[in-house]
């Protein structure tokens, strides 16, 4: 288990398509212990460019964290610290050893994880999925659709349910929040697409709970009640801080 500072806080950083944000996290409560810092994602968002922003965020909290590992969430499939996809980030990330890159830039151990997986872990430890038995599927609705599988609270990493083919389309192209904005869909119109998506996922996996994250979850009352599913579906509790919190928790558990 990674070392934490005297206050038990670990730095979590969440790399997104529009911004990179981070804050130290109190792992006893899952709460941020300082106001999060958000910096615009560089363009192009190459690994080296983003690493510079991550370093800036880490430096800004140097006085608030100990010498233990830092958790970093990235929007990519991440196998043993290596990025294997780049659906919504720069293609240069594919096959980059992100763990090694950030470890070198930050001068300390890091633990790198898929951003939706980080959010799922946060909800399982501190949010609406805590102590829920069976299979919980968290989906993040944003630029794409991220997903996390949690079986009895244990993460099954790197599910890619945003890329299921449904009705001849990559699911996230029609059902992500970006599709709603791009096509100027009303909430009821968007909910029809979400209904098709979640019904399909439900039929494949028979989960015990759906959790919906991403920034749009704060408006969940406008679309979740329109869905008719067997499975309970609820908004995430940690919302946009979930990636930071989950990355920090995983760094404590697995960072070295």
Q: Tell me, what's the pLDDT at 6?
A: 41
All domains in the chain, ordered by first residue:
9-117+241-254 (3.30.420.40), 131-236 (3.30.420.40)
Residues 219 and 255: their CA atoms lie apart, in Å, by 35
Element (H, E) at 178: helix 177-182
User: Shortest CA distance to 115 belongs to which of 253, 48, 209, 19?
Assistant: 19
Contact at 8 Å (CB) between 163 and 86? no
Classified as helix, coil or strand, 115 is: helix
**98: exposed, middle or buried (Cβ count in 10 Å: 0-12, 13-18, 19+):** buried
Task: Count how many Cα atoms sit within 13 Å of the Cα of residue 173 in the half-sphere of its side chain.
Answer: 9
- First vs last Cα of the chain: how many Å apart? 7
Q: Any residues with CB less than 8 A from the CB of 10 and at least 6 apart, and which?
A: 2, 4, 24, 25, 27, 65, 68, 69, 70, 71, 248, 249, 251, 252
With beta carbons less than 8 A apart as the criterion, state whether 200 and 186 touch.
no
In 185-221, which positions are buried (b, 16+ CB within 10 angstroms) versus exposed (e)?
beeeebbebbbebbbbbbeeeebbbbbbbbebbeebe
The one-digit pLDDT tens for each residue of the chain (256 residues) are 444 444 568 999 999 888 999 999 999 999 999 999 999 999 999 999 999 999 999 999 988 887 789 999 999 999 999 999 887 779 999 999 999 999 999 999 999 999 999 999 999 999 999 999 999 999 999 989 999 999 999 999 999 999 999 999 999 999 999 999 999 999 999 999 999 999 999 999 999 999 999 889 999 999 999 999 999 999 999 988 999 999 999 999 886 5
Q: What is the pLDDT of residue 64?
A: 84
In the chain, the largest separation of any two C-alpha atoms, in whole Å, equals 53
pLDDT at 255: 63
| CA pair distance 182, 192, nearest whole angstrom | 16
| β-sheet bridge partners, residue 234 | 211
Residue-level pLDDT at 128: 97
Dist. CA 99–CA 110, nearest whole Å? 6
What is the residue whose two structure tokens read 């299921």? 164
């Amino acid at each position: 288990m990674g070392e934490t500072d005297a206050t038990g806080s670990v730095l979590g950083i969440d790399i997104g398509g529009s911004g990179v944000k981070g804050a130290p996290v109190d792992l006893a409560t899952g709460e941020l212990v300082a106001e999060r810092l958000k910096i615009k994602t560089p363009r192009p968002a190459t690994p080296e460019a983003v690493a510079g922003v991550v370093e800036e965020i880490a430096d800004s909290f140097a006085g608030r964290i100990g010498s233990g590992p830092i958790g970093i969430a990235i929007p990519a499939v991440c196998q043993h610290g290596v990025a294997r996809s780049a659906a919504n980030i720069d293609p240069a990330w594919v096959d980059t050893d992100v763990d090694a890159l950030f470890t070198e830039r930050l001068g300390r151990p890091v633990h790198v994880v898929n951003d939706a997986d980080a959010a799922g872990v946060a909800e399982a430890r501190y949010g609406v999925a805590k102590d829920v038995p069976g299979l919980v599927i968290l989906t993040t609705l944003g630029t794409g659709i991220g997903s996390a599988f949690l079986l009895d609270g244990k993460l099954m990493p790197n599910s890619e349910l945003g890329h299921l083919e449904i009705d001849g389309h990559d699911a996230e192209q029609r059902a992500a929040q970006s599709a709603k904005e791009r096509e100027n869909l009303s909430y009821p119109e968007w909910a029809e697409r979400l209904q098709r998506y979640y019904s399909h996922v439900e039929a494949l996996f028979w989960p015990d709970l759906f959790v919906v994250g991403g920034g749009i979850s704060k408006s969940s009352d406008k679309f979740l009640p329109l869905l008719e599913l067997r499975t309970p579906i609820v908004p995430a509790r940690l919302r946009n801080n979930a990636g930071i919190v989950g990355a920090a928790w995983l760094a404590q558990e697995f960072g070295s």
